[in-house]
A and B are shown apart, each in its own frame.
Chain A
Amino acid sequence: MSRLANRLGDLRAQGRTALIPYVTAGDPAPDATVGFMHALVEAGADVLEVGVPFSDPMADGPVIQGACERALAAGTSLSGVLDMVTEFRQRDNETPIVLMGYLNPIDRLGLDVFAQRASKAGVDGVLIVDMTAEEAPDVAPTLQSAGLDAVCLIAPTTGDERIGKICANAGGFIYYVSFKGVTGSASLDVSSLAASIDRIRAKTELPVAVGFGVSTPDNAADVSRVADAVVVGSALVRQIAEHGADRDATQSALRDTLSAMRRAIDEQDNTKGEARRA
């Protein structure tokens, strides 16, 4: 079993909701990212999601677009991101890492080469935003044979039949896009979320993570009532944007933001646990 499946399986057994922070690698500079990753783990991250910057991130809102632009301006490349993971692994061999990005940089490097190098660097899962099972039936097997989980997106617009097809190829967890929109916008409706997650759970045993609308500790707690994992992205990236070059201030802002989410989720999990025991 993969590091990712192990971690999420353990948490599920304990009745705990996983917290998955996202940062764009190389934002604001390549040498900042590894420090941010460690800080996020210290603040309670169960899994790290690391964004590979792309010049044309069409599924992302302005916050993550800005992060991509800063990272690319600072010279970040896909190879550079893999180096960051290697460096992170020197101190942390436990926390699972999922790379999230767009197809073209991976395509340029070559899918096989990428999968081998990512695995060697210590990546556990890969989510390619603009890749669908129809377009590349070979992507999931190639990732899997390199020991990587192919994390897949499911959206509110995805029909039941397609959910089944996607889950058949997926590994690690299912990333449910909580609403129609880009990252960092709107807020979510937990009751419709519960129904959507039930539709997914009818098709797969994989844990279901929810992202795209979690900006406050209250949002995080709400989502943890129904999902196996909560992804927090733009709320963290916004901190990086605000603090700019001040590395220490950024790290403590990231820690504070994520810790608050962690506390809110834990409280919710405890309440849920007590209710179950009672």
Chain B
Amino acid sequence: MTKPEPQQLDPGTPLAHAWRNMPDVRGHFGPYGGRFVAETLMAPLDELADAYETARNDPAFMAALDKDLADYVGRPTPIYHAERLSKKAGGAQIWFKREDLNHTGAHKINNTIGQALLAARMGKTRIIAETGAGQHGVATATVAARLGLECVVFMGSEDMRRQATNVYRMRLLGAEVRPVESGSKTLKDAMNEALRDWVAHVDDTFYIIGTVAGPHPYPAMVRDFQAVIGRESRRQMLERLDRLPDALVACVGGGSNAIGMFYPFLDDEQVHIYGVEAGGDGLATGRHAAPLSAGRSGVLHGNRTYLMQDDNGQISGTHSVSAGLDYPGVGPEHSWLKDIGRAHYVDITDTEALEAFHECTRIEGIMPALESAHAVAYAKKLAATMRPDQVVLVNMSGRGDKDMSSVAEAAGESL
């Protein structure tokens, strides 16, 4: 296996920082990442890493991906100046990268398109995926339907209750949604179950992981597929404003939309980077999903990273109003960016996220996913501390239609 080369960058992008060469050949981002799995998965992961390495260097594969991103996903997505929100914040100008306008309503499909093309190229006939909020499950079921692949999505039974509409969408798309009853019945348990299924069906099955976590090569591969967000954003900012943003803000659960936005800007050291974790009821209560803000290094789901865990090394239960952020780990590249200080990680509580959801909906006519509402909430706080000639670019990672029942429940209403 050869060392991954940096992605193709837009002209003018400065090169050659250490972070461009991450991960190393075994998938390490500094001390994080790697491949911690049962022996049965080592060979399939090698096979995947090799297939991905070949595909990404194959112009025909990349051309097929670009074509799908344009014609099927609807890329490029626009950037949008949220003028009224900016005025309310009373500081910097807030812009949104409109990933909510992608087909299926979130950034997730950037990655599932790429992995599904890879699966087909590898001759796999069955796709599995884990999902929390259901956005990755829907994005996976969508590409499986399009390519005629069998699709099984693992979803915690608690999340199925919270995201019933997405469960129905997946079924309409022909996927089997398999409820996961083990552990906390949320995203982490769905991932355990998908890994178990993969071990048992490695010959014909491709596991499409939805975030930048998991064993190598997933964190790097998913980042590469999502980096289209940051590449477009960088180019669009230069075209529209003839400058780069002063700050980037994105929500972080596993962290795929965030790393996709951040990665192409890592060399632009004047651009401040903020990842927003789910503060739940507040970090002090322990009821949150903010491993970077309040966790410790450990090993889960095939990689070393910051985790929510107790003193005995057992993974802690998490809480967030947003199912997509309700995960005790985080992509290993975020752990590393935190340690080296290139990105800053902050948290936003359930209440703050819900407030931002309502405000953004009412004054911008854009209904953010509850995940993305965390980023909007922090962007508003951040913008208030900045000058009006400065720019904060928020990744509007998904739309909020799926969250109607959670929002209504929080407001004490029923639909």
Residues of A within 8 A of B (CB): 54-62, 65, 69, 72, 77-79, 102-109, 129-132, 134-135, 152-159, 162, 166, 177, 180-182, 185-186
A157 with B38: CB separation less than 8 A? no
A160 to chain B, nearest CB (A): 11
**B-side contacts of A65, CB under 8 Å:** 182-183
Tell me the smallest distance from the CB of B137 to a CB of chain A, in Å. Answer: 19
Contact B199 A103 (CB under 8 A): no
Interface residues in chain B, defined as those with a beta carbon under 8 Å from any beta carbon in chain A: 26, 34-44, 182-183, 188-189, 192, 195-196, 199-203, 298-302, 307, 309, 311-315
- The 9 A-B residue pairs with the shortest CB-CB distance, nearest first, are A108-B313, A105-B313, A155-B40, A157-B43, A59-B38, A181-B200, A153-B39, A77-B312, A155-B39
Q: Name which of A56, A103, A105, A134 has the most chain B CB atoms within 10 A of its CB.
A: A56
How far does the Cβ of B384 sit from chain A's closest Cβ, in whole Å?
40
Q: List 20 A-B contacts (CB under 8 A).
A: A55-B183, A56-B300, A57-B192, A58-B37, A59-B196, A61-B196, A69-B182, A107-B313, A130-B37, A130-B299, A130-B302, A132-B36, A135-B26, A152-B39, A155-B42, A155-B43, A177-B39, A180-B200, A182-B200, A185-B200
User: What chain B residues lie within 8 Å of A182 (beta carbons)?
Assistant: 196, 199-200
> In the complex the two chains form, is A62's CB within 8 Å of B182's CB?
yes
Q: Are B314 and A54 in contact (CB under 8 A)?
A: yes
Interface contact A154-B313, CB-CB below 8 Å: no
Q: How far is the CB of B33 from chain A (nearest CB, A)?
A: 10
B302 to A, closest residue via Cβ: A130
Instruction: Judge whether A107 and B298 touch: CB under 8 Å.
Output: yes
Closest chain-A Cβ to B17's Cβ sits at a distance in Å of 26
Looking at chain B's contact residues, the main secondary structure is: mixed
Majority secondary structure of chain A interface residues (helix, strand, loop or mixed): loop
Q: Which of B41, B299, B312 sits near A103, CB closer than 8 Å?
A: B299
In the assembled complex, the CB of A266 is this many whole angstroms from the nearest CB of chain B, namely 30
B158 to chain A, nearest CB (A): 15
Contacts beyond the supplied A58-B301, A104-B309, A177-B39: 19 A-B pairs with Cβ under 8 Å: A57-B192, A59-B40, A62-B182, A65-B183, A72-B314, A104-B300, A105-B314, A107-B299, A107-B313, A108-B309, A108-B312, A130-B38, A130-B299, A134-B35, A153-B38, A155-B39, A155-B43, A157-B40, A185-B200
Contact in complex: A55, B40 (CB < 8 Å): no
A180 near B182: Cβ-Cβ < 8 Å: no
Chain A residues with CB under 8 A of B311? 108
Complex contact A132–B196 (CB within 8 A): no
Q: A196 CB to closest chain B CB, in angstroms?
A: 12
Chain A residues near B188 (CB-CB < 8 A): 56
Residues of A within 8 A of B201 (CB): 180
B314 in contact with A155 (CB, 8 Å): no
Whether A135 contacts B43 by the Cβ 8 Å rule is no
Q: Does the CB pair A103–B36 fall under 8 Å? A: yes
Residues of A within 8 A of B195 (CB): 58
Selected contact of B44 from candidates A62, A131, A157, A186, CB within 8 Å: A157
Report A-chain residues with C-beta under 8 Å of the C-beta of B43.
155, 157-159, 162
Q: How far is the CA of A107 from the CA of B313 in the complex (A)?
A: 7
Contacting pair A78 B312 (CB below 8 A): yes
